[in-house]
Amino acid sequence: MKDIGLITSVSIRNNLRSNIIVAVLIAVVLICAISLVLAFCLLAIAPAMKTEIPDRHTLEMFLSVTIYGACLIGLGINMNVFAQTMMREKSRGNITALLATPLKASHIWTGKSLAVFLPGLVLGEYILRSQDRLSD
Amino acid sequence: MNAAISLEDVRKTLGNREVLKGISFTVAIGDIFGYLGPNGAGKTTTIRILLGLLQANSGNLAIMGQDINRSAIRMRIGFALDPDGLYDNMTAEENLGFYARIYRVSDVGQRIAELLKAVDLSDRAQDKVGTYSKGMRQRLALARAMVHEPEVLVLDEPTAGVDPSGQIEVRQIMLNLAHQKNKTVLLSSHNLDEVQRICNRIALIDRGEIKLYGETDSLRRGMSSGTVVIETASEVPQTILDELKSLPKLGLRENQEKRLIFSPQEGMEVSDIISWLTERRVKIEGAARKEATLEEMYSAMLKEVEQI
């Protein structure tokens, strides 16, 4: 566990400095913001289109779907970033150097994976909790 | 001989190609061992097998008498590979600190300070590695290789792409390691001059086979087969040259303006050639037995392979 923690923390720090995590966060936040703007635009044009203004339940449903959608797209971006990080580290010899140390290969892969997915999971959790609070 | 590294009949096939065709060599403790060969000869494959990054198909390998597949042995090996695998976004201190923690080094801060001082990077310790020159990166990679004070160092082209002054610095670090700290160094390189300068033993590999292996000096002496070089004050007259050519025991091989190169027959000494020439009033400025350079040995080996 200590080795996994070490690899994760160093990789997160390294990813932060290369702005990978920032790019993921910006992408997810942008998707959420665009979805919300779209939702309010729909609400705004609904009277003009002489359609029925959605009730609170329908709005909540819409919000849930957009936020879950944003999280899913974020996850997709995360997976892409993970693949790119692995490829970059492989071509620069970072992975080879780690594999030549006494660390177990499984610990290296787990640590590297956590470094990319953990920030996304934390953000996803935060967005879902925020949505719950909004609904309440 | 106490072997730090020993390989016996190691074979490796990658795809359909047999990359290593039963190579064997031993590196003694405290040796600086030069591992030479052209591109694609099997050097990097050997190094990867030694570091446990690849598995050999057959053969016996041991480092400090232990099976290389045991993870404990990796604590006793340091390495610098090409590419170096340093993190560009991290500082030199952070890079070394990361590896020091992996190797469970006790006093990380002090060890890092010592290493950075040894490779002359103390003043750039806080700079990101991405801003370093190639020479600085290679020195840092060497520092990383030494972070846990390993007994064996495996270095793959540590001076590749480094400017001459950087090469001298890297070379000096390797010599200090072997001579002052009794570390064993396996150095894979294309730089024949460098290997000749610092390695006491060498192995030449070509197409997966060891073609030449032994102590650098004795190999050079063996390859030179008693070549004698005589420097003369002026150009030697043609009549004397013709006379020399008719004497196979002196074995005149080449005439390069003021330089005569002989391959004398057994029993003939340098003094015999000198007295023969002085008798004919040839003014001699210098005479020496010439040892083959590593470059000559290397080209001879490649020629032999081409002929086969």
Could you tell me the CATH number of the domain that includes residue B16? 3.40.50.300
- C-beta separation of B131 from B150 below 8 A: no
Same domain, B78 and B179: yes
Write out the residues of chain B at the interface with chain A, using a CB-CB cutoff of 8 A: 51-53, 71-72, 74-75, 77, 79, 81-90, 94, 98-99, 101-103
Judge: B75–A102 Cβ closer than 8 Å, yes or no: yes
**Contact between residue B274 and residue B287 where contact means Cβ atoms under 8 Å apart:** yes
| B305, part of any domain | no
Structural domain total, chain B: 2
Cross-chain residue pair B102–A101, CB shorter than 8 Å = yes
Q: Residue B298 domain-assigned?
A: no
Helices B108-118, B134-145: inter-axial angle, 10-degree rounding: 140
CB B188 within 8 A of CB B35: yes
Q: CB B90 to CB A17 under 8 A?
A: yes
Distance CA B250, CA B279 (A): 15
Which of the residues A6, A7, A17 would you substitute to probe the B interface, choosing the one with the greatest number of B C-beta atoms within 10 Å? A17
B95 and B152 in one domain? yes
Number of cross-chain residue pairs from A and B with Cβ atoms under 8 Å apart: 59
Say whether both B216 and B259 belong to one domain. Answer: no
Domain shared by B132 and B272, yes or no: no
pLDDT in tens, A60-89: 777 777 777 777 777 777 777 778 888 888
Which one of B221, B249, B280 terminates a domain? Answer: B221
- Residue B30, burial from CB neighbour count under 10 angstroms (0-12, 13-18, 19+): middle
pLDDT of A110 higher than 60: yes
Total residue length of chain A: 136
Q: In this structure, what are the phi and psi dihedrals at residue B83, rounded to the nearest 5 degrees?
A: -65, 160
Rounded Cα–Cα distance for residues B142 and B164 (Å): 17
Q: Do B85 and A96 touch (CB under 8 A)?
A: yes
Q: Provide the residue range defining the domain that includes B274.
A: 228-289
Q: Are B35 and B192 in contact (CB under 8 A)?
A: no
For residue A107, list chain B residues with Cβ-Cβ distance below 8 A: none
Q: Are residues B202 and B234 in the same domain?
A: no
A86 CB within 8 Å of a chain B CB = no
B302 within a domain of the structure (yes/no): no
Three-class SS of B173-207: HHHHHHHHHCCEEEEEECCHHHHHHHCCEEEEEEC
Last residue of a domain, one of B221, B254, B280: B221
In a domain? residue B197: yes
Specify whether B234 is located in the same domain as B210.
no
Say whether both B130 and B158 belong to one domain.
Answer: yes
Q: Are residues B129 and B253 in the same domain?
A: no
Shared domain for B201 and B254, answered yes or no, is no
Neighbours of B103 (CB within 10 A): 19
Same domain, B25 and B102: yes
**Cα gap B24→A52, rounded to integer Å:** 84
CA dihedral B143, B144, B149, B153 (to 10 degrees): -90
Instruction: Compare B296 and B176 and report the one with higher pLDDT.
Output: B176
Numbers of helices and strands, H then E, in chain B? 10, 14
Contact A108, A10 (CB under 8 A): no
pLDDT at B306 over 90: no
Is residue A54's pLDDT more than 70? no
The tens digit of pLDDT for each residue in B72-126 reads: 888 999 999 988 899 998 999 999 999 999 999 988 999 999 999 988 899 999 9
Residue given tokens 């070394």 in the structure block: B96
Q: Examine the domain organization and report whether B155 and B200 are in the same domain.
A: yes
Closest CA to A85 of A94, A73, A76: A94
Residues of chain B with C-beta less than 8 angstroms from the C-beta of A91: 83
Q: Which of A47, A88, A35, A100 is nearest to B80 (CA)?
A: A100
C-alpha A116/C-alpha B278 separation (Å) is 81
* pLDDT, average across residues A91-104: 91
Please tell me which residue of chain A has the smallest CA distance to B83.
A93
User: Measured in whole angstroms, how far is the alpha carbon of residue A58 from the centre of its chain?
Assistant: 26
Cβ-proximal residues to B289 (8 Å cutoff; 6+ apart), any chain: B224, B226, B227, B228, B229, B270
Instruction: Count how many residues are written for chain B.
Output: 308
> N- to C-terminal Cα distance for chain A?
39
pLDDT tens-digit series, residues B206-231:
889 998 888 887 777 666 666 788 88
Q: Is B217 left (phi over 0), alpha (psi -120 to 50) or beta?
A: alpha
Report ipTM (2 d.p.): 0.77
For B50, nearest residue in chain A (alpha carbons): A100
Q: Which has more confidence, B249 or B63?
A: B63
Cα B152 from Cα B185, distance rounded (Å): 6
Q: Residue B26: beta bridge partners?
A: B6
A15 CB-side CA count, 13 A: 29
State the pLDDT at residue B305.
63
Q: Between B72, B83, B102, which is nearest A93 by CB?
A: B83
Q: Which residues pair with B11 in a beta bridge?
A: B21, B58
B116 and B247 in one domain?
A: no
Query: Where a domain ends, among B165, B193, B221?
Result: B221
What is the identity of the amino acid at A125?
A: E
Amino acid at A58: T
Question: Measured between alpha carbons, how far is B156 from B186 in angstroms, rounded to an integer?
Answer: 8
Most confidently modeled range among A111-125, B43-57, B252-266: B43-57
Q: In this structure, is residue B241 part of a structural domain?
A: yes
In a domain, B263, yes or no: yes
A18 touches chain B (CB under 8 A): yes
